């Protein structure tokens, strides 16, 4: 039984690093996204930004990076990938962020028999 699965390195060294597409072009905070391109290094050397927000990355097989969408301002945000000190910022690749709001109500019955002053 394999405890830690090996992720295949699908990087093509004959092509330059690229950021080609994103799968889901819109969403809300903590949704999963996938960016596709050609990335030469392991996940700890990669950074993905949506606008000025850095995202949490989960894995890469080098043509794809998977992560979670950060909280952003409502609207379209530029996507960029930073590999070491080099940045890839395609002009036509933007993500549409939607504000998501929810209300949580926590109720509790107060003990009126035990009054502590």
Q: Give the containing element (helix H, strand E) for 37.
A: strand 32-38
CB 88 within 8 A of CB 75: no
Query: Would you state the pLDDT for residue 1?
Result: 56
Task: Quickly state the pLDDT bin for 29 (edges 50, 70, 90).
Answer: confident
* CATH architecture of the domain with residue range 18-97: Sandwich (2.60)
CB 57 within 8 A of CB 46: yes
Label residue 4 by pLDDT band (50, 70, 90).
Answer: low
Contacts 24+ apart (CB under 8 A), 85-93: 86/17, 88/17, 88/18, 88/19, 88/37, 89/19, 90/19, 90/20, 93/19, 93/21, 93/22
Tens of pLDDT along 34-87?
999 988 888 888 999 998 899 999 988 888 899 999 988 889 999 999 988 889
Task: Read off the tokens for 22.
Answer: 């994103």
Q: pTM (2 decimals)?
A: 0.72
Give the tens place of pLDDT for each residue, 81-100. Answer: 998 888 999 988 999 998 87
Taking the chain, what is the end-to-end CA distance rounded to the nearest angstrom? 62
Coil vs helix vs strand at 81: strand
Look at the block and give the residue holding tokens 């606008």.
51
Average pLDDT over residues 100-104: 69
Residue 17's pLDDT band, with cuts at 50, 70 and 90, is: confident
Domain range annotation of the chain = 18-97
Q: In angstroms, rounded to a whole number, what is the distance separating the alpha carbons of residues 72 and 20?
A: 22
């Amino acid at each position: 039984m394999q405890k830690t699965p090996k992720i295949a390195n699908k990087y093509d060294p004959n092509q330059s690093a690229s950021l080609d597409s994103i799968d889901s072009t819109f969403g809300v905070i903590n949704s999963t996204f996938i960016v596709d391109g050609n990335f030469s290094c392991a996940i700890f050397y990669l950074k993905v930004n949506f606008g000025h927000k850095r995202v949490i990355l989960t894995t890469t097989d080098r043509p794809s990076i998977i992560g979670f969408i950060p909280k952003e301002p409502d609207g379209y945000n530029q996507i960029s990938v930073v590999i070491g000190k080099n940045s890839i910022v395609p002009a036509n690749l933007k993500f549409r962020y939607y504000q998501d709001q929810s209300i949580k109500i926590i109720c509790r019955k107060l003990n009126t028999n035990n009054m502590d002053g």
